[in-house]
């Protein structure tokens, strides 16, 4: 047994859950290639360890050149795509050398290819992005055809995929207008297409096309605010755990924590847990956020501190210093904690702080 010398908070990353969730993506979109989205340090789970668990994916999508290079140098041979393309023309030579695939979403990026005069570079694969209504990245519909012709004229481009991104695949408004516009713009085109994020993979088979781009569902968190991850058959890939480090007994009228936000109206046992907002636990979550102590679901009390939170252990009499606490994972879904904090699972997973020890487990 290893010596236990650290603060007890830890994030366990479950390789089996990642593999299983990739299998769920494949069963939902059996005809599509899968671009596993591993941006933001694989949604806080650790880029290289997640890539290893997801090494069956047909491609990986990241934002930074450094992340893409790390994947290539780790030996992954599949498509590695930069979701925002290049930020400066200087990077084109490097992207080419590492055989990276680049999103091209504006004319400046197109010009990087047109102005490139390194005939020794490998030609680069491009995902050309259309703005079909989200108004974030992508060529406007009225210039799309002209820009595509210019891209086709670039001898340093090999292989073009047409892509777009949905604003409302997880909302009741849905994707119909964006999909109709994309289909109209790309009708008759011989190029492969990529449209679907996790929500569209789950809800809109008509948008699966050649490449799907799952992110959040690979990590076992639901893309929908009103659908639990468990009913999508996906499993949480992260368990954030800690321990109780102090126990307090409140009399009626006593309060706990900064601002004395929680007042006991009956005798209340409080466990103090080694986890706070500096670990990535959301400060916006107030009394009542679900949390698990000794395998039993209970609730947080009062305001989250930088390094600690408070839990109600009145009904868990055997809870004591050292008792295990699950902040989120298989017993408490990260989505339930996110909902209590007015946010989404994505934000909590990405925000797990560097000071939290991450341990990869194969199960």
Ligand X SMILES: *Cc1c(COP(=O)(O)O)cnc(C)c1O
| List of residues contacting ligand X (CB under 6 A) | 37, 39, 83, 165, 197-199, 213-216, 223
Considering beta carbons, is residue 95 or 264 the nearer one to ligand X? 95
Quote the tokens at residue 19.
């593999």
314 and 191 Cβ atoms separated by less than 8 Å: no
Pairing of strands 10-14, 357-361: parallel
- CA 271 – CA 248 distance, rounded (Å): 7
* Closest separation in Å from C-beta 354 to ligand X: 21
* Closest separation in Å from C-beta 306 to ligand X: 29
Nearest to 288 by CA among 306, 274, 309: 309
Considering beta carbons, is residue 294 or 343 the nearer one to ligand X? 343
Considering beta carbons, is residue 14 or 39 the nearer one to ligand X? 39
Query: Which of the following is catalytic: 76, 258, 310, 320?
Result: 258
* Closest separation in Å from C-beta 91 to ligand X: 19
Considering beta carbons, is residue 224 or 281 the nearer one to ligand X? 224
Considering beta carbons, is residue 60 or 262 the nearer one to ligand X? 60
* Closest separation in Å from C-beta 278 to ligand X: 25
* Closest separation in Å from C-beta 229 to ligand X: 13
Q: Is 320 a catalytic residue?
A: no
Q: How far is CA 74 from CA 36, 52, 124, 243, in A?
A: 16, 9, 20, 35
Pairing of strands 357-361, 262-263: unpaired
Cα Rg of the chain, angstroms: 23
Quote the tokens at residue 193.
């297409």
Considering beta carbons, is residue 169 or 332 the nearer one to ligand X? 169
By beta-carbon distance, which residue lies closest to ligand X? 215
The three-point CA angle 52-64-49 to 5° equals: 15
Sorted by sequence, the CB contacts under 8 Å of residue 145 that are 6+ apart come out as 185
* Closest separation in Å from C-beta 56 to ligand X: 18
Residue 117 backbone dihedrals phi, psi, to 5 degrees: -125, 50
Q: What is the 3-state secondary structure (H, E, C) of 311-353?
A: EECCCCCCCCCCCEEEEECCCCCHHHHHHHCCCCHHHHHHCCC
Instruction: Give the catalytic positions in this structure.
Output: 39, 258
């Amino acid at each position: 047994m290893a010596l236990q010398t650290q603060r007890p908070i830890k994030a366990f990353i479950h390789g089996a859950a990642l593999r299983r969730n990739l299998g769920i993506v494949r069963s939902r979109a059996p005809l599509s290639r899968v671009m596993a989205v591993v941006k933001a340090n694989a949604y806080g789970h650790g880029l290289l360890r997640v890539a290893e668990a997801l090494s069956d994916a047909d491609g990986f999508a990241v934002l930074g050149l450094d992340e893409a290079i790390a994947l290539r140098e780790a030996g992954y041979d599949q498509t590695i795509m930069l979701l925002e393309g290049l930020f400066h023309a200087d990077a084109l030579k490097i992207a080419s050398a590492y055989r990276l695939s680049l999103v091209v979403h504006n004319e400046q990026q197109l010009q990087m290819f047109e102005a490139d005069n390194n005939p020794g570079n490998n030609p680069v694969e491009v995902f050309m992005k259309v703005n079909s209504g989200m108004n974030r990245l992508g060529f406007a519909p009225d210039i799309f055809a002209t820009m595509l012709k210019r891209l086709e004229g670039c001898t340093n481009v090999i292989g073009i995929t047409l892509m777009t991104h949905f604003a409302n695949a997880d909302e009741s408004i849905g994707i119909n207008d964006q999909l109709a516009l994309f289909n109209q713009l790309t009708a008759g085109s011989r190029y492969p297409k990529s449209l679907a994020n996790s929500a569209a993979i789950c809800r809109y088979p008509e948008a699966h096309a050649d490449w799907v781009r799952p992110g959040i569902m690979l990590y076992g968190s639901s893309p929908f605010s009103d659908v639990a991850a468990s009913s999508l058959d996906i499993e949480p890939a992260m368990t954030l755990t800690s321990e109780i480090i102090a126990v307090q007994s409140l009399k009626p009228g006593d309060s706990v924590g900064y601002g004395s936000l929680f007042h006991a109206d009956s005798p209340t046992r409080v466990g103090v847990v080694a986890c706070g907002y500096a670990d990535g636990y959301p400060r916006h979550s107030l009394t009542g956020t679900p949390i698990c102590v000794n395998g039993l679901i209970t609730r947080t009390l009062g305001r989250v501190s930088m390094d600690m939170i408070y839990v109600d252990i009145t009904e868990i009499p055997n809870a004591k210093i050292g008792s295990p606490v699950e902040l989120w994972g298989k017993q408490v879904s990260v989505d339930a904690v996110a909902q209590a904090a007015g946010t989404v699972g994505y934000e909590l997973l990405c925000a797990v702080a560097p000071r939290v020890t991450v341990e990869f487990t194969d199960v």
